[in-house]
Chains A and B, each alone.
Chain A
Amino acid sequence: MRMFVLSPSKMSMFSVDWLAGLLALLVLAVAPWLFASGYVIGVMTVALCFGIWAASWDFMSGLTGRENFGHSLFIGAGAYTAGFLNVNFAVNPWWSLLAAPVVAAVFSLAVGFPTLRLRGPYFALAMLSGAAVMQNLTIIFSRYTGGQDGLNGLDPIVDSTLGYYYLTLVLLAAITLVLKLIAASPWGIILRAIRGDEASCQAAGINVTFYKIASLTISAACAGLGGALYAHYQLQVGPDLFAVVLSINIIIMVYVGGIGTIYGPVGGAILLNVLTESLRVFSEYRLWMYTLLLVFILFFMPQGLIAPLWWRLRRRLSP
């Protein structure tokens, strides 16, 4: 989809962006006190994990246009790393936050290099099949991975529900900030140029391979970190974390949020998670509504919901 992605040359409004981001962070920080229910905080924690996954997806796929349909590969890699370390080797769960991104990054190199020359649906499909292969391998080698049942009995990184929420929030904020800063830097310009035309990028003296691999690796590391956070929260990991449906859900959240903006997908993730939980009442119809929402957005809002809303609001705020 050809879209005019927000360019850094609109920097005059930059300070308003920062303010809004800070405000959103504040709202998320006080949210638990407003709802004071362990259940809601739990839902929000999961939503924030999805936020990390959505932001990391957007960083690579949203900027370079190489849509990755196998993001779950990195999530599962991070989650299982956490599981292995904690359950099999009784390692302190804090170490997962360091190990998971590294392992996920290694996975990204393993799939990134072979798929370098692939574009569009071919790249999407290759990444998707990579994740599916991993999912199957996890089930096949059940002796080490626990097969369909996965690994159970992980320790939480932080014991309290509230504490875990804040840990996740801090990491989400940090990741979103870092990714947004990179996107606004020369790196961002180069990544968007790769989306524009790779051959011209080469002709401009840019090492396209480096940036393609690097953006995938950064995306993977963040997703892996989110995976570890999720694993230590749910206290279990299973092959479902490699599933295609997870990758697709994240992509939907990104589209709802506004592809290419990094912060939009975070909003999309939170919105959709909250929505699906609140629609739990309609259990069977929930998937209907989800799909209808997707159809609606595809037809009428190709730029998403959250980011365009923010742009409109910002225009009203600025003179």
Chain B
Amino acid sequence: MVQILVYGAVISAIYAMLAVGFTLIFGVARILNLAHGSFYALGAYLVYTFTANANLPLWAACLIAVPLVGAFGVAVERILVRPLRRSMLAVLLITLAVALMVEQVLLLIFGSEARNVPSLVDATYHFAGVDISAQRLLALGGGVTILAGLWLFMQHTRLGSAILAVAQDAEAAQYMGIPSDRIYSLVMGLSAAIAAAAGILVAPFQTVIPSMGLLPLVKAFAIVVVGGLGSIPGSIVGALLLGYSETIVAFEVSIEWSQIVSVAAVFATLVIRPSGFFGKRASF
């Protein structure tokens, strides 16, 4: 029981980080970013490279990797996404192309064997009869901190307000002097950085392979649909719902049944309430 509680929380926190970044970029720039999983994977792989090959201390590796992936996100938006913005499908396909490319590059450089990323903390805690690694707790704590930080940023800074303005009405925001184009790039960079952070936090206890971003991307997608595309609180609620449903099903029924939870949730949400729990009722 405690195990479910904690594991569920960790999974939810990680999913939430990915979902929030995903929904942010959709809510603001109307981009369905299929490369989101790549940012996640790149975070993990960069830290691996810096620690294993460049022999940097772990904390330094993390601090460099995150903004690096953020910059990559910005580059993707400016160079590849912006020219195709008129068509959602084209953007979808181009981000898919990026995702495929990144996976191929990682495969070429690192091969398909799982890589070992050292933990930031090595201790294991004993809590109510269950062993929980400190790294998992750190992932949970880190996730919550980052999300809280994001919320504070959005609510209490001018830049945050600018982002929200663009999300509501990009044209109107432009009349107010807010450069929508630059905001899009910024948001892409931000969501990429958050995804990278998520990848770094889980790397010590998840399998680090080139395709590691695929499944989390699917989950993030599912959460965002259930919670409402473009709604950050929706993503958090959705992440909790999905994270816990999956953990419970995995523990009580079987791993296979837990995999179906997210896709079934997507289908059900779209059929019943396409805008999701918290989403605005747009035309579908």
Tell me which residues across on chain A come within 8 A of B225, comparing CB atoms: 125
- For the complex, give the distance between the alpha carbons of A294 and B89 in Å: 12
- For the complex, give the distance between the alpha carbons of A287 and B254 in Å: 34
Choose the segment among A46-54, A132-140, A178-186, A202-210 that binds chain B (4+ C-beta atoms closer than 8 Å): A132-140
- CB pair A298 B90 closer than 8 Å: yes
* B267 in complex: contacting residue of A1, A133, A252, A292, CB < 8 Å: A133
- CB pair A67 B89 closer than 8 Å: yes
Given contacts A129-B266, A248-B96, A284-B108, contact A121 B256 (CB under 8 A): no
- CB pair A133 B264 closer than 8 Å: yes
Choose the segment among A4-12, A110-118, A262-270, A273-281 that binds chain B (4+ C-beta atoms closer than 8 Å): A110-118
- CB pair B89 A122 closer than 8 Å: no
Q: Is A156 interfacial (CB-CB < 8 Å)?
A: no
Given contacts A117-B284, A118-B270, A291-B101, contact A299 B96 (CB under 8 A): no
Which residues from 22 to 46 on chain B have a C-beta closer than 8 Å to any C-beta of chain A?
32
- Shortest A195–chain B CB gap in Å is 13
Q: Is B263 interfacial (CB-CB < 8 Å)?
A: yes
Q: Is A314 interfacial (CB-CB < 8 Å)?
A: no
Q: Which residue of B lies closest to A285 (CB)?
A: B104
- CB pair B87 A1 closer than 8 Å: yes
- For the complex, give the distance between the alpha carbons of A53 and B86 in Å: 28
- For the complex, give the distance between the alpha carbons of A136 and B264 in Å: 10
* B260 in complex: contacting residue of A115, A136, A251, A290, CB < 8 Å: A136
Tell me which residues across on chain B come within 8 A of A294, comparing CB atoms: 93, 96-97
Which residues from 241 to 284 on chain B have a C-beta closer than 8 Å to any C-beta of chain A?
254, 256-257, 259-260, 263-264, 266-267, 270-271, 274, 283-284
Tell me which residues across on chain A come within 8 A of B260, comparing CB atoms: 133, 136-137, 140
Q: Is B107 interfacial (CB-CB < 8 Å)?
A: yes
Residue-wise, chain B 76-117 has the 8 Å CB interface mask toward A (1 for contact) of 000010011011111011101100110010011000000000
- Shortest B239–chain A CB gap in Å is 17
- For the complex, give the distance between the alpha carbons of A175 and B184 in Å: 45
- CB pair A140 B270 closer than 8 Å: no
Chain A contact residues, majority secondary structure = helix
Q: How many B residues are at the interface, by size bracket?
A: 35 or more
Residue-wise, chain B 208-241 has the 8 Å CB interface mask toward A (1 for contact) of 0000000000100110010000000000000000
Q: Is A130 interfacial (CB-CB < 8 Å)?
A: yes
- Shortest B19–chain A CB gap in Å is 15
* A115 in complex: contacting residue of B90, B93, B256, B271, CB < 8 Å: B271
- CB pair B100 A287 closer than 8 Å: yes
Quick one: which of B225, B257, B267 has the most chain A CB within 10 A? B267
Q: Is A319 interfacial (CB-CB < 8 Å)?
A: no
- CB pair B274 A118 closer than 8 Å: yes
- Shortest A100–chain B CB gap in Å is 23
- Shortest B8–chain A CB gap in Å is 20
Which residues from 108 to 159 on chain B have a C-beta closer than 8 Å to any C-beta of chain A?
108
Q: Which residue of A lies closest to B99 (CB)?
A: A291
Tell me which residues across on chain A come within 8 A of B222, comparing CB atoms: 129
Q: Which residue of B lies closest to A132 (CB)?
A: B263
Given contacts A114-B271, A284-B107, A298-B84, contact A129 B90 (CB under 8 A): no
Given contacts A121-B32, A288-B101, contact A299 B270 (CB under 8 A): no
- Shortest A70–chain B CB gap in Å is 10
Residue-wise, chain A 99-129 has the 8 Å CB interface mask toward B (1 for contact) of 0000000000000001101111111111001
- CB pair A295 B266 closer than 8 Å: no
- For the complex, give the distance between the alpha carbons of A244 and B86 in Å: 24
Q: Which residue of A lies closest to B254 (CB)?
A: A140
- CB pair B94 A295 closer than 8 Å: yes
- For the complex, give the distance between the alpha carbons of A114 and B271 in Å: 6
Tell me which residues across on chain B come within 8 A of A298, comparing CB atoms: 84, 90, 93-94, 97
- CB pair B87 A126 closer than 8 Å: no
Tell me which residues across on chain B come within 8 A of A118, comparing CB atoms: 270, 274, 284
Tell me which residues across on chain B come within 8 A of A133, comparing CB atoms: 260, 263-264, 267
Tell me which residues across on chain B come within 8 A of A132, comparing CB atoms: 218, 263, 266
- For the complex, give the distance between the alpha carbons of A1 and B93 in Å: 13
Which residues from 133 to 178 on chain A have a C-beta closer than 8 Å to any C-beta of chain B?
133, 136-137, 139-140
- CB pair A122 B87 closer than 8 Å: no
Which residues from 242 to 276 on chain A have a C-beta closer than 8 Å to any C-beta of chain B?
248, 251-252, 255
Query: What are some 11 contacts across the A-B interface (CB < 8 A)?
Result: A1-B90, A67-B89, A118-B270, A118-B274, A120-B284, A125-B225, A136-B259, A291-B100, A294-B96, A298-B93, A298-B97
Interface residues of A (CB under 8 A from B): 1, 67, 114-115, 117-126, 129-130, 132-133, 136-137, 139-140, 248, 251-252, 255, 284, 287-288, 290-292, 294-295, 298-299, 302
Interface residues of B (CB under 8 A from A): 32, 80, 83-84, 86-90, 92-94, 96-97, 100-101, 104, 107-108, 218, 221-222, 225, 254, 256-257, 259-260, 263-264, 266-267, 270-271, 274, 283-284
> Contacts A1-B90, A284-B107 given; 12 further ones with Cβ under 8 A?
A117-B284, A118-B284, A119-B284, A121-B88, A125-B266, A132-B218, A136-B260, A136-B263, A251-B93, A255-B93, A287-B104, A298-B90
